[in-house]
Amino acid sequence: MNAIVLFGVLVMSFITVRAQEIPILEGANPQNRISVQQIAQKIRPGQIIVMGEHHGFKTAQQGQLELMEALRAAGHKVSSGLEFFYYPDQALVDDYRLGALTEADFLQKIQWGQPSFDFYRGQALFPRYDQGERTLALNAPRSLTSRVSKVGLAGLTPEEQKLLPPGFQLGRDSYKKRFLSMMPHLPTPEAGERYFAAQSVWDDTMAWKAAEFIQENPGQILVIVVGDFHAQYGGGLPDRIEARTQQKPVVFSFVNVEGLSEVDIRNEVEPSMEYGPRADYIWFAKESTSTSN
């Protein structure tokens, strides 16, 4: 059986899989399936794992917790990093985890919006604070990224510039190309530059805080939960993590096959001729968008 036919057989079998069964494909060879336990055995202390997801999809969050449990079962200390929390709020996150803030007060103070926190409570509570694990606030403040998208980097005030990560850099050209291709109706080219700068602030800030943590805690594994576009093809968050740690993170990307044809699925998971593999590993699940709110 050749690779194309085999891939078609895998696609058809995966499309019918129950929601609680989440197949994982190898990104470079999507004909190959791999288990969470096999992946966990490959991970070593000091590594960062980037888990791209569709926000609010239950199967994506289920997979994140499954991997974290497998890592713990393999003997690792596991901390979590969430893009939904802004790094200036780290003290609030710690107070919540230590019981000094109720969940309701915590969510009010950080101005949590959508999706429901129910989707991410497990990831936020997974680290064991009594054993040195942490729940990390990774992202740049929304006020900063909003300002960059409106006025650009050059328009930031000195106080706003202080919120940028040390040695901040824009994302690489291939990432910028993919980003701008998702925004075909920009009012001006300058607007595209500003929006990409804001996207880069997002990525590089998360990479900075992740690198800072893993360098201080080389015996742990850091699992980052982030929107899938930031993870795909290595050009966003993974690239900035590698630049800041000199180590490639392990990257997962999430593909929801609901409503996709076999050809559509193949295009999503097979390595791109231009950008290479989508990720090291690809979550492959079928879930109605009605469960994502």
Question: What pLDDT does residue 260 have?
Answer: 85
pLDDT the model gives residue 5: 44
- Global pTM? 0.90
pLDDT value of position 21? 56
Total number of domains constituting the chain: 1
Contacts of 49 (CB under 8 A, 6+ apart): 43, 67, 221, 222, 223, 224, 249, 250, 251, 252
| 205 contacts: CB under 8 Å, gap ≥ 6 | 87, 138, 139, 140, 164, 165
- Report residues of the chain scoring pLDDT below 50: 1-7, 9, 12-20, 290-293
For residue 95, what are the domain limits?
A: 3-291
Residue 238: CATH number of its domain? 3.40.50.11550
Say how far apart CA 216 and CA 211 lie, in whole Å.
9
Q: What pLDDT is stored for residue 148 in this prediction?
A: 98
